[in-house]
Structure 1
């Protein structure tokens, strides 16, 4: 039997831990359920993906300066030529596969600043090529949201329509696509793909503060930060939003340190390192340290060792909730609100656009008072998420894989 050729596609290996975690979850599924599959990637960071996941990888864009601002004539011409070249590169890559999977990620949303001729254009090329050559393109557990920009909305809508399979990580995403004119009657909603990753054992991660000599001393708090400037519709006041977010988060971290709490600063994307540096510079305390994390597994190890987590990025929240640690969301989008509601922590949310350090501290103290009950809730909700993702992967196999490609017995849901 000829092995099925499977491609994975997206901004993978580009420094965003959430995107790479979604890829890791899909690769785990493929290796368990389709060990005969030949897998490669068309992605943003091919060197990272090839080295870390040991699959062949091709650069997503022909023009290497795709995500740098083009001001000179040569750069503008290079970007323009790259858009044309990528039509043929993407088509040739898609044609070499029976199945292409877009693993999770917010590929159908613009909750962060986004240009239509960036990733939305690339996604459209992928889905159009799949329809042209008969390659089944699957958008698996993706995020979606209402989009204000007409060109971006059109590209996203047509990408979704051309895909052979769609599933979403929350009901809001499915409703957003329905509102944009996509027939979602057969589309399913499942938990985020990162909930399929292994949960690390709790312990003290390397470099984190050790246990205190005082038996009743409070444990560490993980604070996941973000280089946050608002969404795609907030460009006019991006600077103001960022200053307010950074000031409020810094004041909150300082208050924790003054209370004698060890604080671990976490990131979810390489861009967030500037926020970590700013907080470390403003809060001069040995209790505040920065963790080195290269994967969602690293994040979960840090969070599993903490008493509580306060986080902004969506996948920082996923990691905290999956680790079973009481979590407070600095919410910047409806997807974060939906996630917290799904996991039973709906009341523990604070707006990232208007961080009020005093109010946040009050909410944090309320969170810690309910910690034991919240940990029990998270155990139950994580079991439910694991079962739902088993059904997700079974449905994916039935929908897009050739009937004779499956040789492995399905795993039973826990």
Structure 2
């Protein structure tokens, strides 16, 4: 409890939250669960991509991340180009003012230090740099918690990401390759720890053990066009991914297996529609999940999962369903290895339906054994995240200086 003469600590949450990506919102949910349990007196708000959605679902005030609402649309007309440029200046002032009002800002999970999907330097990387620079300027502790990182080829993006990480007061990563990537980019990671993805701390529904004939298969799809360095081949990569996935789903249907198409972001909807159109069968249906909890329920209701999007994999692994990953970045391979399923990976850039079906059948033959392995690995992940939350308490909430720091900021 906060005594009468103390000002409650103000905690901000930052990121592309409320924008339709279920994984990002799951990371927010995990951090809010920790804060409400361990720091119920804290005053919470967010600077995020979808403030209305965040306020409606999570019950905290939220401010739009970018002043210019067309930030992530390509600017072709002169007016839009000028507005986008002006927005960069306005966002610098807005971000600094928002950061200054807080004692602590947390960036919950997400791949904020990577460019494994198409990304422009002056979008989110610039926003993250403004956050971390403002934190250093005003003495606000900025924490990058269980975030993802990866090698970045684009020089401006790499520079912004490197300086963001250097300026943060606390860093932890969701896998070892992420920490290695930041070290290779010139960040001192000596004190940085590796913990599981924050989603593993969420409540979950355990999958039931299948009995009887082979049951439904969950296929998690993604609007996949390759990474930031694949822009010239984006359509070719997408076509190959889609054709391979369609071929795999068609083979499952020919075996009489019901298929449930799953996604983790609003942008994946056209891929679900394309597969439903190509494989015209009552055995193939699409699921609509509004949260990671909904997605986990879907994952728990199938015998086996084959998925691409990172947080689809996490949901399936977390509920204990044997999973095969269509991997597009080191984070997916690292996650599968961490959970004891490193053998069951297939490249998303080169989906081969026949080879994928072969791997799928091998996975199902070991289903009972892999379910036991997942149960054990999930317990380990939960314990590791409990340890991280204790470490966060020590790093971010030194009780003695809360009231003093906040009073100084509010002084005229």
What band does the TM-score fall into relative to the shorter chain?
over 0.9
Q: Is the CA contact (8 Å cut-off) linking 1:120 and 1:152 kept in structure 2?
A: yes
Instruction: Name the structure 2 match of 1:409.
Output: none
Superposed counterparts of 1:250-329, under 5 Å: 250-329=246-325
Q: Using the TM superposition, give the Cα deviation of residue 218 of structure 1 relative to its aligned residue in structure 2, in angstroms.
A: 1.6
Deviation at 1:401, TM superposition (A): 1.2
Q: 28, 33, 43: which is aligned to 1:28?
A: 33
Among 362, 372, 377, the alignment partner of 1:381 is 377
Hey, which bits of structure 1, 4+ residues long, moved more than 3 A?
Answer: none
Match of 1:182, SS? coil
2:85 aligned to which of 80, 100, 103:
80
2:231 to 209, 212, 235: 235
Contact in 1 for aligned 2:207/2:321 (Cα 8 Å): no
Q: Which residue of 2 aligns with 1:216?
A: 212
Paired residues of 1:7 and 1:41 also in contact (CA < 8 A): yes
Mean Cα deviation higher: 252-261 or 376-385: 252-261
User: How far apart are residue 265 of structure 1 and its match?
Assistant: 0.3
Length-normalised TM-score, structure 2:
0.95
Question: C-alpha offsets along residues 304-328 of structure 1, whole Å, 9 cap, x if unaligned?
Answer: 1110000000110011000100000
Give aligned pairs, total.
Answer: 397
Per-residue CA shift, 1:158-187, capped at 9, x if unaligned?
A: 000000000000000001000100000000
* Contact 1:3-1:405 within 8 A present in 2 as well: no
Hey, what does 2:184 align to over in structure 1?
179
In 2, Cα distance between the equivalents of 1:356 and 1:228?
A: 15
Name which of 191, 194, 203 aligns with 2:199: 194
Q: What is the aligned counterpart of 1:225 among 205, 218, 221?
A: 221
User: TM-score normalised to the size of structure 1?
Assistant: 0.94
Unpaired runs of at least 5, structure 2:
1-5, 403-412
1:121 aligns with 2:126: yes
CA-atom RMSD in angstroms: 1.3
Q: Report the alpha carbon displacement of residue 405 of structure 1 after superposing the two structures with TM.
A: 8.3
Tell me the distance in 1 between the aligned counterparts of 2:360 and 2:187.
Answer: 40
Look up the match of 1:104.
109
Stretches of structure 1 lacking an aligned partner (at least 5 in a row): 204-210, 407-414
Cα pair 1:105 1:142 within 8 Å, conserved: yes
- Mapping of 1:326-337 within 5 angstroms? 326-337=322-333
CA contact (8 A) 2:206 2:320 kept: no
2:366 paired residue number:
370
